[in-house]
Amino acid sequence: MAYLGILEYYDPLYEILNSQVFPHVHAPIFHVKRMSKRVYKYTEEKTRIAIIGKFFWLNDPIYERIQRIKGEFDNLNKIRSYGFDTRPNYVAKPITKEERIGLAVVEEFIEGRDLDYYIKSAIHNGNSHCLQEKLSSLANFLYTLHERTKMPFNVNLDSVSSYFYRILDKLQRQTLISDSEKDAFVKQISKWLNSGILEVPCVIAHGDATPTNFIFSGDSDVVAIDLERLKNGDIAYDIGMICGELKHSFLWRTGDWQISEKFIRHFLKSYASHFPDPKGAFNDITRRNPFYMGMTELRIARNEFLDWTYRKRLVYEAMQCLKWGVHL
């Protein structure tokens, strides 16, 4: 995080934080750190209380992105209303927003380590047991989320395919995949969509289940952040994303994706263990998991900060995942 200094009194955000977040503090002083392009941490000097501010660009040409970011305030409140306002399964508390200045949400800052920290610790320090414990806690969080938000209808596969095709379009524009490679992926996706495998009941999914979006603040407490991509979908959407991210994390850092296999299996079995029939649930979830893992690997491949050769490797792994899975 880059330290940017103290928030100026004349900044419109100062009045918002002063009146709506820290009304009990006389002349508060806010130290500002930049966490990402549009996420900032504000720490009040006297109380040492920290909060997070997330912004959207008022002149952003992509309307869909503006709406998605603006929706996080409501999404946080929505999921908290399902009982995620108490530990051990918790969602960060939104405090306020102000769209006229592009402030999507002010929310509490959560102390703790994210899942990526424990992945790196397992890789570099051999702390495999600790990572497995955190994956078990995360599996419990996601199972609870999915179980509490079950809906009386099936997943909208048009929405699933539309998102998958948008990923392919982006990769094609980046010239990471050729026209023929894109056609090959479309063929595989069509096989999945027409197989009936993905026709399952709908739940609310986190939608962006990446290692940095889950904070562990205690022995078993899990806190979800960044809910701007919350969506109706398959439980395997979140599960497959976690599995795809685990595979990527180990492949990227060690060059060997097979090291991730025991952690992926542990996570899947931990999630399935919450069902009345764990073995049946495990088989059911792993039937669909390759589709969403492949989607995740392609999603990660869009990141231009990654090495080109490695991104091509992710594309290859995604295709193998889709081919292998549909024939299970």
* Domain end point (choices 93, 108, 123): 108
Inter-CA distances, 159 with 51, 90, 156, 230, Å: 34, 28, 6, 13
In this structure, the answer to whether residues 213 and 268 fall within a common structural domain is yes
What stretch of H or E contains 16?
Answer: helix 12-16
In this structure, the answer to whether residues 154 and 6 fall within a common structural domain is no
**Before 88, cis peptide (omega within 30)?**
yes
Classified as helix, coil or strand, 225 is coil
Torsions phi, psi of 319, nearest 5?
A: -65, -40
Which single residue is written with the structure tokens 């010239």? Answer: 175
- Given a cut of 90, whether residue 60 has pLDDT beyond it is no
In this structure, the answer to whether residues 179 and 316 fall within a common structural domain is yes
In this structure, the answer to whether residues 38 and 154 fall within a common structural domain is no
Q: How far apart are CA 233 and CA 239, in angstroms?
A: 11
pLDDT of 132: 98
In this structure, the answer to whether residues 55 and 104 fall within a common structural domain is yes
In this structure, the answer to whether residues 166 and 92 fall within a common structural domain is no
Structure tokens at 259: 């090291």
Looking at residue 253, its amino acid is R
In this structure, the answer to whether residues 74 and 97 fall within a common structural domain is yes
Predicted confidence (pLDDT) per residue in 83-131, tens digit: 999 999 999 999 999 999 999 999 999 999 999 999 999 999 999 999 9
In this structure, the answer to whether residues 321 and 183 fall within a common structural domain is yes
In this structure, the answer to whether residues 16 and 129 fall within a common structural domain is no
Angle at 95 between CA 30 and CA 140, to 5 degrees: 115
Predicted confidence (pLDDT) per residue in 129-185, tens digit: 999 999 999 999 999 999 999 999 999 999 999 999 999 999 999 999 999 999 999
- Given a cut of 80, whether residue 219 has pLDDT beyond it is no
> Residue 24 is part of which domain span?
2-108
Query: What are the E-state strand segments in 186-288?
Result: 203-205, 214-216, 222-224, 231-233
Which single residue is written with the structure tokens 């999603």? Answer: 299
Which single residue is written with the structure tokens 């006229």? Answer: 100
Band of residue 64 on the pLDDT scale cut at 50, 70, 90: confident
Q: How far apart are CA 90 and CA 31, in angstroms?
A: 26
Band of residue 328 on the pLDDT scale cut at 50, 70, 90: low
Closest by alpha carbon to 12, among 100, 107, 109, 104? 100
In this structure, the answer to whether residues 156 and 44 fall within a common structural domain is no
DSSP state at residue 126:
-
Structure tokens at 54: 């997330």
* Domain end point (choices 75, 108, 141): 108
Predicted TM-score (pTM) of the model is 0.95
In this structure, the answer to whether residues 94 and 153 fall within a common structural domain is no
Structure tokens at 34: 């930049």
Strand 222-224 versus strand 89-91 pairing type: parallel
Q: How far apart are CA 282 and CA 235, in angstroms?
A: 12
Which single residue is written with the structure tokens 């995949």? Answer: 177
For residue 63, give every residue at least 6 positions away whose Cβ sits within 8 Å of its Cβ, in sequence order, or none.
none
Strand 94-98 versus strand 2-6 pairing type: unpaired
Angle at 12 between CA 7 and CA 16, to 5 degrees: 90
In this structure, the answer to whether residues 175 and 70 fall within a common structural domain is no
* Domain end point (choices 65, 83, 108): 108
In total, how many domains does the chain have?
A: 2
